[in-house]
Structure 1
């Protein structure tokens, strides 16, 4: 069927759709079908390509493509064909491919100026090359009224689908608010993402892990002691310099974004925390512009190197104690610290939020889980005797 072409590829195996006389265009292996079509008839030696009907709707089915192609042939046979009407009206300034890369270039410029995280912008390039370009190829952004078909063909986890769609929605907001090319944002489906449940390591487990570090790789005791006792972002710990330490106080003012040191934290504000005695006991003394934590010949810790040490020691921990722990360093340190604190002091949620540097309390609650059953169990053990409240089983002086 040379005059009709399906757009996109099979969302499962990414192979091209094949034409079957009985079933139309289809992926033989997974039975998926195209979500868009274009007609490509010839007129006076010129190939005419059109992917929308005359009321501006994208051609979504093979039946609609055949109907439009028959209309073209009928007008041609009756010699009433107005070829200017059939030629694509897509201009470069409205082409999705042109605009999506213009938007990306702005994001890349912001990243180079330190305004956007280096871990975020490269993901946008991945979304564009792997998902957006193939689906919206050759489409005028003014003709995109809904992104539900695009979302439907994404064969990814709910979380990854949401990330792809959130970035695409950001692109359309840019078209509306900054470029003034569209009046309304297309309709997006709501993706339900299961609540994130971080894994937690108890304090005893974390201290036993620290003991293994001291036995096998003592050079790295300072940074792991800090991570376990202070409960903070590993990227900010790696970026600590001597000017951040003053007595029993630490200030977080730098961060590693990707592999680059940047002069601001993730939230773009300086944060001050208390240094616990266990941490102060192992802090090396360095000059103001030297990294606090180094290894080898004074090199700072990279994310990969720190994770390698952690995974290596966690494997030894599992072998020694017969456990099956498998969690990211972030959860083993920061999230475990937060969960332990909030369950011991549920009334101090705001304090923990400031400690973590979260801008919203919902973020703190997401990563520092209050164990409701345990909390009520403790409350149930509190009894009133006369004018005093006591906890059952605990002797008062």
Structure 2
């Protein structure tokens, strides 16, 4: 039996301890509210050991710290983690912690008072964060936000956000990696949590600073792409009524969500240009392009689709350019996905080949292989940064080969051979 427990159950020693225990310098007094469940008598305090009923030798299961500080009486029923003081040892630990914080002028009672503490729990504030963000994020991101918040809450729960440090972020990241999540997914979750902490600092002013986050290395997505001949084969597998929008994507490199949102008013036949200014997020039309602060993008009409647009521009300006032949309305997100999946299955194409790869990524890669300037590619694809366009540069193997044609050793072979045959001291 533990020495402390033995002391509280040995009758002779118990009487001595009850009579001899004195005051100490620790701030606050550990108290109990309950009485002995057997005899109804109050528990008696044995300093440093606990509370006990002199008659029944029973001990309480709930404690609190009674503290007088700066003229106020404060009763603390839990520690910083929100854990109830369900043992005398936990209460002693809390008393020692508070004594240290008072001595070092860092004591903040709101970090211990449960009614106040719950305001700073990660789970409480994450719910507020989600409510605020769901009002402004793109509809297609809402499910991700909800999933990320559930993951954050499962790990941090009743952690006081003011106590979160870099080591906590590292532990969180390692727990995510232990769940066999991809590097990209881990990065997205951690980035979302950083956004949460930033929101706490800038919007709620709960935090004065944000802990530094460890760098997360993510392997770049090795997307596949199609050459023009393969695109033609894939296009032949698309039903006639749906072929126009897929051809448009293969020739112009727009995002599928932007093609679905394209309206007649966005086509300028006189200038032969298309204005990309809207997008679908899921099935919600947004009058803005994807990306924070993204501006409208203007691209030329591909010559092969000029006649198509001339015909379509006879419609009402607010009419969608591409219509689902089955419904006569714009393409829904799921319908659009099914069109691609059917064509991919017909052609026995890899499941990893996405519509995005067969269209937008293929346009970027084909242009790179034709040695088109990254600046021009960036403008065509509507990239906000040239850095995004550089993803396509590694595909330009033909361009690299043509670069090697400009260097040669043919005229220098004899000279090199002569030099290497004779050492500096004249020896072979």
Alignment of 1:100-115 (within 5 A): 100-109=126-135, 111=136
Residue in 2 aligned with 1:6?
none
Give, in angstroms, the shift of residue 349 of structure 1.
0.7
Residues 160 and 41 from structure 1, CA distance in 2 versus in 1: closer, same or farther, beyond 3 angstroms? farther
- Does structure 2 conserve the Cα–Cα contact (< 8 Å) formed by 1:41 and 1:47? no
Establish whether residue 358 from structure 1 lines up as the match of residue 378 from structure 2: no
- The whole-number CA distance in structure 1 between the counterparts of 2:185 and 2:134 is 21
Residue in 2 aligned with 1:390?
none
Give, in angstroms, the shift of residue 188 of structure 1.
2.5
Residue in 1 aligned with 2:359?
333
Establish whether residue 291 from structure 1 lines up as the match of residue 317 from structure 2: no
DSSP-derived class of the 1:264 partner: coil
Establish whether residue 377 from structure 1 lines up as the match of residue 401 from structure 2: yes
- Does structure 2 conserve the Cα–Cα contact (< 8 Å) formed by 1:94 and 1:140? yes
Residues 277 and 136 from structure 1, CA distance in 2 versus in 1: closer, same or farther, beyond 3 angstroms? same
Of the three residues 128, 132, 137, the one matched with 2:157 is 137
Residues 153 and 69 from structure 1, CA distance in 2 versus in 1: closer, same or farther, beyond 3 angstroms? farther
Give, in angstroms, the shift of residue 41 of structure 1.
5.0
- Does structure 1 conserve the Cα–Cα contact (< 8 Å) formed by 2:344 and 2:350? no
Residues 282 and 73 from structure 1, CA distance in 2 versus in 1: closer, same or farther, beyond 3 angstroms? same
Residue in 2 aligned with 1:42?
62
Give, in angstroms, the shift of residue 357 of structure 1.
1.3
- Does structure 2 conserve the Cα–Cα contact (< 8 Å) formed by 1:343 and 1:370? no
Residue in 2 aligned with 1:231?
253
- The whole-number CA distance in structure 2 between the counterparts of 1:372 and 1:326 is 21
Residue in 1 aligned with 2:374?
349
CA deviation string 1:54-76 (max 9, x = no partner): xxxx9xxxxxx99x963637999
- The 10-residue stretch of structure 1 (273-282 or 300-309) with the greater mean CA deviation from structure 2: 273-282
DSSP-derived class of the 1:138 partner: coil
- The 10-residue stretch of structure 1 (138-147 or 238-247) with the greater mean CA deviation from structure 2: 138-147
CA deviation string 1:329-374 (max 9, x = no partner): 111100011100012024x1111111111111111122x2433542
Establish whether residue 300 from structure 1 lines up as the match of residue 319 from structure 2: no
DSSP-derived class of the 1:200 partner: coil
Alignment of 1:92-241 (within 5 A): 92-109=118-135, 111=136, 116-129=137-150, 131-146=151-166, 147-154=169-176, 155=179, 156-213=181-238, 217-241=239-263
- Does structure 1 conserve the Cα–Cα contact (< 8 Å) formed by 2:371 and 2:399? no
Establish whether residue 266 from structure 1 lines up as the match of residue 290 from structure 2: yes
DSSP-derived class of the 1:282 partner: helix
- The 10-residue stretch of structure 1 (251-260 or 132-141) with the greater mean CA deviation from structure 2: 132-141
CA deviation string 1:216-267 (max 9, x = no partner): x111121111111111111110111111112221111211012111112114
DSSP-derived class of the 2:347 partner: helix
- The whole-number CA distance in structure 1 between the counterparts of 2:218 and 2:371 is 29
DSSP-derived class of the 2:216 partner: coil
TM-score, structure 2 length as denominator? 0.66
- The whole-number CA distance in structure 2 between the counterparts of 1:75 and 1:159 is 40
- Does structure 1 conserve the Cα–Cα contact (< 8 Å) formed by 2:225 and 2:358? yes
CA deviation string 1:183-222 (max 9, x = no partner): 2212433221112211111110001111222xxx111121
- The whole-number CA distance in structure 1 between the counterparts of 2:387 and 2:94 is 61
- Does structure 2 conserve the Cα–Cα contact (< 8 Å) formed by 1:172 and 1:185? yes
Of the three residues 235, 248, 252, the one matched with 2:276 is 252
- The whole-number CA distance in structure 2 between the counterparts of 1:343 and 1:132 is 43
- The whole-number CA distance in structure 1 between the counterparts of 2:247 and 2:188 is 34
Residue in 2 aligned with 1:312?
342
- Structure 2 stretches lacking a partner, 5+ long: 1-59, 65-74, 96-107, 409-428
> Which one has a bigger Cα radius of gyration?
2
- The whole-number CA distance in structure 2 between the counterparts of 1:69 and 1:351 is 71
